Amino acid sequence: QTVRWHIELQPWASPTPSLNYEASRFLKYISTSQISCEHTNLNSLKGYSETAKKPWSICLDERFSLIHRIRSKQCRLYSLGLGSDDNQFELSMANSGCEVHRFDPSIKSAHIQEGRHLWYHRLSIDWRDPNPAIAAHKLHSNTKKLGTVLNEFGHQKIDVLKADVESAEWKILENLILEDVVEQIGQLVFEVHIHWPGFEVSGNDSTVVRYWYSLLRELELKDFRLFHTYKDLSKPQMFLKKEAFNASSCYTLSWVNTRWK
């Protein structure tokens, strides 16, 4: 199998590159559900009360595997975050019997187990593994690619990958696509930030938006379908540092891998 180094970029949205056209295509894309999902939160499970600050929506419809794996206590959630105090979603998934792994470089110990089903790991998930030969990278020994962590933990599959990684999400998503790790994931719930290009995303504004759009189209090619969008109106209404396009700077997007029946 040949290794891919770059994602396929979609054609420009207009005959000549234009931020207006790219932005409207992208914003329409992230605001349009591709598949309907009737049950999108854990309220439908017994003994659960919704107090999460954000709607981390998952698809619990019978036609997909997640609800069955929760019932049989076989589900696994990976949560990527940075010092967030809102862990209600993780706790409720653990209380439902899911094996929950939260990756957060700010915790005190390397690994902490809380209760039967919840682990915290002092690890930051990145789009590359540190190179031990480079001095600066030694500072990032707690930084690993998701594929590397899966191999080290001996995990073949993740039922839900939740990510709130403060603008590293684009490069992490690219890495998951290029290394085919995304195929080992049942559902993705990502917070995306669009007030700036994101870590190590380069190019002018229209190029950046085309890249974002192309990444999400790659997910679609891998049979992921967007079923829920949350536009966070508590965040500034900014799109690439501009007060334009009626966009929030932050959206939470949920996809289900339709291959996982």
Map residue 137 onto helix, strand or coil.
helix
Pairwise pLDDT comparison (218 vs 1), residue with the higher score: 218
- Quickly state the pLDDT bin for 47 (edges 50, 70, 90): very low
Domain ranges of the chain: 33-41+56-131+139-257
pTM of the model: 0.92
Is 174's pLDDT higher than 80? yes
Residue 158 contacts residue 80 (beta carbons within 8 Å)? no
In words, the CATH class of domain 33-41+56-131+139-257 is alpha beta
pLDDT of 260 reads 84
- Quickly state the pLDDT bin for 140 (edges 50, 70, 90): low
β pairing state of 111-114 and 118-121: antiparallel
Q: Which range, of 45-54, 90-99, 148-157, 165-174, averages the lowest pLDDT?
A: 45-54
- Beta strands across the sheet bearing 111-114: 111-114, 118-121, 99-103, 76-80, 158-163, 185-193, 250-257, 224-231
Pairwise pLDDT comparison (86 vs 186), residue with the higher score: 186
Considering the chain, what is the average pLDDT of its residues? 90
pLDDT of 127 reads 87
> In whole angstroms, what is the distance from residue 111 CA to residue 153 CA?
12
